[in-house]
A and B are shown apart, each in its own frame.
Chain A
């Protein structure tokens, strides 16, 4: 059996989604901007996809939802165009974001800092959550934008977007949320919250990679990121990616129809897995379950280094993820793990398991069994569980320097 539990990284494309995109490769292939029937033939499907996305997010017809290539593009677009419109060509000089954002927000912010923008990286509490009063306390009359992710890719923890949105509205500050980990996983109702800009990506909810969107409330001004043939009403140039837009519409519809039921089903499996893994001694999970995306577990297993654990899981055909420094190309400890500040250990012993609606009970059973076996094996090797202590003088100080 093989089990994919890395759905916060990307998801399988739903076969129903693949089916609806098929005709738009070799049958209906015209450029939608062309006047002839080859071009216009794709319009009904594109309109449908647009309707599906607006409906899924409960967006108003006065809002714009512009298709992009991915959420990285959407996030960069918002940050760089706000910089251009309100900082370079305006009287603002400040952007607020959080320490735990995705690299597409953090790196873009660092780039803007080099251009002279002041950026505040808000801390999170021990649950990994941004507290609204902290956001409020950092807003000044020079603040151009607040950007806070809806849910965390690492922990699954859900930020109080409604409260933060109200604060931004009251203070007259623009508000952007990277909702990549929220859309399709939990209800996102744009009539219920005040958000000016919202980024999303289809491949996180069983759509294909290479298609995302940016929601722009009330069609408000935001200078374009890509210049060209004035596609999408001039907001985002580049020939419309017809099959992928059609796919994104279908994918978001499938993910959000009866979302409460789907959430309950995923959560039941997630909770069963989480309960079983917590039976192991010296383990803990970040964040309470009720305020977490229903598919995510970030568990710390004492004495077991994350990459080693991933290795053993991979040997058992289970795909998971770790924030361990060892597993990253640059050996940098995971900033999200460190920001939570629970313990330095978590940065090295954290394993993230993320389910999808395709995860089965059998897969959960298999994972529980294999996971426990792996922990047993690695703890048997681990120095953290050794019985014979060091010769006096042979103890190590915490994190000593090599010399």
Chain B
């Protein structure tokens, strides 16, 4: 919230000229009949997606040349707002001339991009990104009908945020890699949840199978479990020296979490592991003190020995702790 948000967005002013033009005069609105397709020796495919009761519905018509699998003509019918009609229109245009297999690769991002006046400026405001998702869904359905397969087979991964096309796998990786703890961070890193917001938590514009809040919670839990496991493994096998660097840092973190950190926090301090460097004689663990630990007399003596002794006992006798 700041100066520019005080008035609230004027929804329609954020539409590109292309959206406005196509809403007012869609080029491919209409139907293709069985008879027309047959006259050209082509196959007619008609697919529906959505329903009036959920606010958006689209019907896509394809006339496909069975010899080449090329979509020679395409039309649409749409129950929806201006952006839904414009998205449907541009979708048919993107389909025409492509083979069915090529058309399946058209995503909602392509549809939205084709509606832009200039490549840098989005064609629709964030909450309307969602309209183009229907186009992507109905194309998959039409392709499934033509090829006689379930449309689900075209989706190689589980998409959590349709608007920004972010997969479950990507989200889990980004959370782990960057140690994300909030939904806002997830949106900043991946754009997921930044548009129609349906995928953030239940109760939004549409029901979802996966929600960011659940993914965040589950991934965080998994991360904690991994940490515990790393610590347990290290303790039981005594194979600290044979671990990779990442595993070593995780194991050290886990031991510190379990045995040391709480005592530092009680005194208003904390610490972080900066680096681990194995040498011939030692495994040097570089740490940095935070908060009240910084400059505390004991941090160079008693506390330091306690940390080192704990790590030595739990992980490896070769560990030497060096504060920086």
Determine if A311 is an interface residue (Cβ-Cβ < 8 Å): yes
- Chain A residues, Cβ within 8 Å of B152: 403
Q: A6: CB under 8 A from chain B?
A: no
Contact A381 B26 (CB under 8 A): yes
Given the known interface contacts A380-B29, A386-B31, A388-B33, the answer about A399 and B9 at a Cβ–Cβ threshold of 8 Å is: no
A304 to B11, CA, bound (A): 19
Provide the A293-320 mask, 1 if CB < 8 A to any CB of B, else 0: 0000000001111111001001100000
- Chain B residues whose CB sits within 8 angstroms of the CB of A303 once the complex forms: 52, 79
For window 16-39 of chain B, which residues contact chain A by CB distance below 8 Å? 23-24, 26, 29, 31-34
A381 touching B205 in the complex, CB below 8 Å, given contacts A329-B11, A345-B52:
no
State whether the Cβ of A11 lies closer than 8 Å to any Cβ in chain B. Answer: no
Q: A333-B55, A390-B46, A401-B209 are in contact. Are A384 and B197 (CB under 8 A)?
A: no
Which of A303, A304, A333, A393: most chain B CB closer than 10 A?
A: A393
CA distance A394 to B56 in the complex (A): 16
Asked if B52 and A390 make an inter-chain contact with CB atoms under 8 angstroms apart, the answer reads no
Taking the closest CB of chain B, its distance from the CB of A282, in whole angstroms, is 11
Contact A308 B81 (CB under 8 A): yes
Q: Flag if A399 contacts B54 (CB, 8 Å).
A: yes
Interface membership of A389, Cβ < 8 A: yes
Is there a chain B Cβ closer than 8 Å to A189's Cβ? no
A-contacting 9-mer, from B57-65, B291-299, B303-311: B57-65
In A352-403, the 8 Å CB interface with B consists of 380-391, 393-403
Question: How far apart sit A200 and B26, CA to CA, in the bound complex (Å)?
Answer: 45
A132 to B155, CA, bound (A): 54
Contact B48 A388 (CB under 8 A): no
CB distance from A400 to the nearest CB of B (A): 8
Partner of B53, one of A307, A324, A395, A399: A399
Given A327-B81, A383-B57, A394-B11 contact (CB < 8 Å):
no
Flag if A394 contacts B141 (CB, 8 Å): yes
Tally of contact residues, A, Cβ under 8 A: 48
Q: How far is the CA of A16 from the CA of B24 in the complex (A)?
A: 40
The CA-CA distance from A324 to B131 in the complex, in Å, is 14
With the chains together, A329 CA to B197 CA distance in Å? 11
B211 within 8 A of A: no
**Chain A proximity of B112: nearest CB distance (Å):** 15
B29 touches A381 (CB 8 A): yes
Q: A308-B80, A311-B82, A402-B133 are in contact. Are A388 and B54 (CB under 8 A)?
A: no
The reply to whether A308 and B82 contact each other, CB–CB distance below 8 Å, is: yes
Whose C-beta in chain A lies nearest to the C-beta of B32?
A: A388
Chain A residues with Cβ below 8 Å from B133 are 402
Question: Is there a chain B Cβ closer than 8 Å to A326's Cβ?
Answer: yes
Are the CB atoms of A305 and B84 closer together than 8 Å?
A: yes
Q: Is B156 an interface residue (CB 8 A)?
A: no
Task: Using CB atoms, name the residue of chain A closest to B204.
Answer: A331
Assuming the contacts A331-B127, A388-B32, asked whether A396 and B51 have C-beta atoms less than 8 A apart, the reply is yes
Contact of B209 among A306, A347, A403 (CB under 8 A): A403
- Is B49 an interface residue, CB under 8 A from the partner? yes
A195 to B81, CA, bound (A): 42
CB < 8 Å neighbour of A381 from B8, B9, B85: B85
Task: Check: A22 CB closer than 8 A to any chain B CB.
Answer: no
Counting CB contacts under 8 A, is B120 at the interface? no
Chain B residues, Cβ within 8 Å of A302: 52
Q: Verify if B97 is at the interface (C-beta below 8 Å from A).
A: no
A155 within 8 A of partner (CB): no
Beyond A305-B84, A331-B204, whether A390 also contacts B59 by CB under 8 A is yes
Q: Are B8 and A348 in contact (CB under 8 A)?
A: no
Question: Which residues on the A side are within 8 Å of B78 (C-beta)?
Answer: 381-383
- Which residues of the other chain, A, contact B82 by a CB distance below 8 angstroms? 307-308, 311
| CB proximity of B26 to chain A, nearest CB, Å | 6
- Report the minimum CB–CB distance from B153 to chain A (whole Å): 12
Of chain A, the residue at the smallest CB distance from B25 is A377
Q: CB-CB < 8 A to A349: which residues of B?
A: 52
B322 within 8 A of partner (CB): no
How far, in angstroms, from A330 to B23 measured CA to CA in the complex?
22
Contacts of B47 in A (CB 8 A): 390-391, 394
Is the Cβ of B155 less than 8 Å from the Cβ of A305? no
Apart from A388-B34, A391-B44, list 10 A-B contacts with CB within 8 A. A305-B56, A329-B9, A331-B198, A331-B204, A349-B52, A388-B32, A390-B46, A399-B53, A399-B54, A401-B208
Question: Could you show 5 A-B contacts with beta carbons less than 8 Å apart?
Answer: A305-B81, A325-B55, A383-B57, A390-B47, A402-B137
Q: Which B positions have Cβ atoms within 8 angstroms of A?
A: 8-9, 11-12, 23-24, 26, 29, 31-34, 44-59, 61, 77-82, 84-85, 127, 130, 133, 137, 141-142, 144-145, 152, 155, 159, 162, 196-198, 204-209
